[in-house]
Amino acid sequence: MSLASARGLSFPVLTDALRVDGFRFVEGESMRTLLEAYGPLSDWSEFAGSWNGLEPDAYLANVGLHRRRRHAVFSAQGGEITREPHQPHYQSRDYNTLQGGIERWFAPVLPHVAESPSLRSILRFCHAFFGALSPDVATWHVELHQFRIEARPDEPGQPTPEGVHRDGVDYVLVLLIDRENIASGTTTIHSADGAMLGSFTLTRPLDAALVDDSRVFHGVTPVEPEDPMQPSHRDVLVVTFRRRSGR
C-alpha cells in the first residue's frame, strides 16, 4: 500500500491500512476532511498558537536536549471524552530506556486548549477511529502531549531521543502543527526485528501518522535549522490511546 494518501481518503480505507500494515501516513488535506467529520477546526490558528506557550522539558534538559511540552490525561468511554485530574506521564524502561521507570510531571495543557473546538474534534476522531479497530474496549486511557522540538546550529533537535521505540500503548496519532526553519525530521516505521517498513516526513500542518503501537516501532530523525541564524522548531501533537487496565 502506498504511503502517500489520496485526496479524500475514506475512514474504512484507513482502518484497513492499519489492520494490514500497522501504520499509515495521511496528508494534511485528507486529515482535515477526516477530522472535520467529528467537529470544527474553526479555532485552528489559536490552537496552533498555544504551542508558543509550552514549558521546558526539565527532564531532557539534564542531557542537554531542548524540548518544550505540555501534557494532559483524558478518559474516553461511550460517547464521552473527559479530562482527568493532572497526573504524571509514566513509561517503563521496556519502552523508554532513556527516561523510563520514573513518573514525569509536565506542565498541564491549559484549560482553554483542552476545551478548544480543534482539540475536541481531534479527540473525537481518535476515539471513533481507534475504537473501530478495537471495538471490545469499553474505556480508553488517553494521553495528550504538546511537543515543541527546538533545533540549534550546534545541536540538532531530537524528536525521539530514546531512538526507535514503542510507546507502550495501543494506538498513536502524531499530528504536525507547525514547522519553522526545519530540515529533516523523517518518521521511520520498523518491525520488531528492526527492519524498516516505511518512512515519511510530516511537512505541512495536519500531516499525520497513525500507528498501531502494539505491532510496529517508530522513530524520528534529528532536525536541524535550515538557516542557522534564525530560530527553528517542530511542533507536533501526540495523542495515545491505551485500553484502561492499570499501567
Task: Give the helix/strand (H/E) hosting 10.
Answer: none
Q: What is the pLDDT of residue 99?
A: 55
Q: What is the pLDDT of residue 8?
A: 52
For the segment 57-63, the average pLDDT, to the nearest whole number, is: 65
For the segment 108-136, the average pLDDT, to the nearest whole number, is: 97
Q: Can you tell me the distance from the alpha carbon of 237 to that of 23, in angstroms, rounded to the nearest whole number?
A: 17
- CATH topology for 11-243 is Jelly Rolls (2.60.120)
Q: Can you tell me the distance from the alpha carbon of 202 to that of 23, in angstroms, rounded to the nearest whole number?
A: 14
pLDDT at 204 over 70: yes
pLDDT at 130 over 90: yes
Neighbours of 39 (CB within 10 A): 16
Q: What is the pLDDT of residue 201?
A: 95
pLDDT at 95 over 50: no
- Residue 63 cell numbers, joined: 542531557
- Letter for the amino acid at 181? N
Q: What ranges do the domains of the chain cover?
A: 11-243
Q: What is the pLDDT of residue 110?
A: 98
Q: Can you tell me the distance from the alpha carbon of 227 to that of 204, in angstroms, rounded to the nearest whole number?
A: 19
Report the share of the chain in percent with pLDDT over 70.
87
Q: What is the pLDDT of residue 6?
A: 38
pLDDT at 19 over 90: yes
pLDDT at 65 over 50: yes
Q: What is the pLDDT of residue 2?
A: 32
Q: Can you tell me the distance from the alpha carbon of 99 to that of 104, in angstroms, rounded to the nearest whole number?
A: 9
Q: What is the pLDDT of residue 67?
A: 84
pLDDT at 247 over 60: no
pLDDT at 101 over 60: no
What digits encode the pLDDT tens for the residues 26-51?
999 999 999 999 999 999 999 999 99
Kindly indicate the confidence band of residue 166, based on its pLDDT and cuts at 50, 70 and 90: confident
The torsion angles phi and psi of 125, rounded to 5 degrees, stand at: -60, -50
Q: Give pTM, 2 decimals.
A: 0.90
What digits encode the pLDDT tens for the residues 137-146?
999 999 999 9
| 12 vs 114: which has the higher pLDDT | 114
